[in-house]
């Protein structure tokens, strides 16, 4: 099968297309013929070697962790799925014609959910749901989200607003209007961000969800009146500051989460920004685009 791999850490140009063996399955896994694989910031962090101290990899690495596609084969113990089912979810080695997923890591894709939208939901949607859950938000509270225009942030804003939470969202000047359309009060990120937030929330905020990882935790702690209700998904300074860093894991990757996200898109309460599409062979360009920022919507590889 065609797959994108890298044999060493480095810049995006270490990615290249290979003819790789089709993966074999463990009893609880399914093989998915990939239609779309999303490119995530994590893929860049792993490929660059920035996470070498935290995540052990075996070269060659086939990147990618979320897909939409069709079930192509079932592990010996998998029940409730059939070859040919249209699914979406978390997978390993997603930048390839075939990727492996836990049977519990994918869910049926409803007809009303386009595959290209489904492929953009698992990683960002689960992270947004988890971040909000950890903060134990109640209707009427005020939440500050750093990185409100990004893939995770856009979902977190919409889910929080739907629960009756007032959201202040940091974003670039360019994305301010988009953040307002999602239902949040936009504030421009960068120097002076906390003064601008204070103009909207003079008494501070109830909670902060940091998805930008841009060094804003100390100011966030001050604004929230302590570390208790500050959660980051992206800032490694969290531990030294006493803030919760949530990275999630397999236990969080459930069909229930996928169904909840799919339902929200289908009923119109969750809107996902259109993705940029590139062919598999342009995976290096796709990762470079994600690293560069300055865009809305995910970057997808089309198989």
| Residue 134 burial (CB count, 10 A) | 15
By CB under 6 A, tell whether 123 contacts ligand NAP.
Answer: yes
The least distance separating ligand NAP from the CB of residue 221, rounded to whole angstroms, comes to 16
Is there binding between residue 37 and ligand NAP (CB under 6 A)? no
* Shortest CB 172 distance to ligand NAP, Å: 4
> Which residue's Cβ has the minimum distance to ligand NAP?
150
Confirm or reject binding of residue 114 to ligand NAP (CB under 6 A). no
Sole binder of ligand NAP in the list 178, 234, 258, 303 (CB under 6 A): 234
- 10 Å Cβ neighbour count for 52? 12
Q: Segment near ligand NAP (CB under 6 A), from 23-31, 72-80, 122-130, 279-287?
A: 122-130
Report if residue 135 touches ligand NAP, rule: CB under 6 A: no
> How many chain residues interact with ligand NAP (CB under 6 A)?
28
Identify residues 270-299 at the interface with ligand NAP (CB under 6 A). Answer: 293-294
> In the window 174-233, what residues touch ligand NAP (CB under 6 A)?
189, 211-214, 233
- Among 8-16, 38-46, 160-168, 220-228, which window interacts with ligand NAP (CB under 6 A)? 38-46
Site for ligand NAP in 48-107 (CB under 6 A): none
Q: Give the binding site for ligand NAP (CB under 6 A).
A: 40-42, 123-124, 127, 146-147, 149-153, 170-172, 189, 211-214, 233-234, 246-248, 293-294
């Amino acid at each position: 099968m065609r797959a994108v791999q890298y044999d060493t850490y480095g810049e995006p140009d270490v990615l290249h297309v290979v003819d790789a063996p089709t993966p074999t399955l463990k009893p609880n896994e399914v093989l998915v013929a990939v239609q779309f694989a999303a490119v995530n910031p994590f893929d860049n962090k792993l490929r660059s070697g920035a996470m070498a101290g935290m995540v052990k990899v075996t070269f060659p690495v086939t990147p990618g962790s979320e897909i939409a596609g069709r079930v192509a084969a079932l592990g010996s113990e998998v029940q409730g799925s059939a070859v040919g089912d249209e699914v979406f979810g978390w997978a390993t080695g997603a930048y390839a014609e075939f990727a492996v997923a836990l049977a519990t890591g994918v869910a049926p894709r409803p007809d009303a959910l386009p595959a290209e939208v489904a492929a953009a939901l698992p990683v960002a949607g689960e992270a947004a749901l988890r971040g909000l859950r950890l903060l134990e938000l109640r209707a009427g509270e005020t939440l500050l989200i750093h990185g409100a225009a990004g893939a995770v942030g856009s979902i977190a804003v919409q889910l929080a607003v739907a629960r009756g939470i007032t959201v202040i969202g940091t974003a670039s000047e360019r994305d301010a209007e988009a953040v307002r359309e999602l239902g949040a009060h936009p504030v421009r990120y960068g120097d002076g961000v906390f003064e601008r937030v204070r103009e909207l929330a003079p008494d501070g905020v109830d909670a902060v969800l940091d998805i930008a990882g841009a060094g804003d935790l100390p100011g966030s702690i001050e604004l929230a009146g302590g570390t208790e209700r500050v959660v980051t998904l992206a800032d490694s300074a969290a531990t030294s500051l006493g803030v919760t860093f949530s990275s999630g894991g397999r236990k969080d990757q459930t069909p229930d989460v996928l169904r909840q996200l799919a339902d929200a898109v289908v009923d119109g309460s969750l809107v996902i920004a259109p993705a940029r599409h590139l062919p598999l062979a342009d995976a290096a360009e796709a990762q470079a685009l994600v690293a560069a920022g300055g865009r809305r919507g995910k970057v997808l590889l089309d198989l």
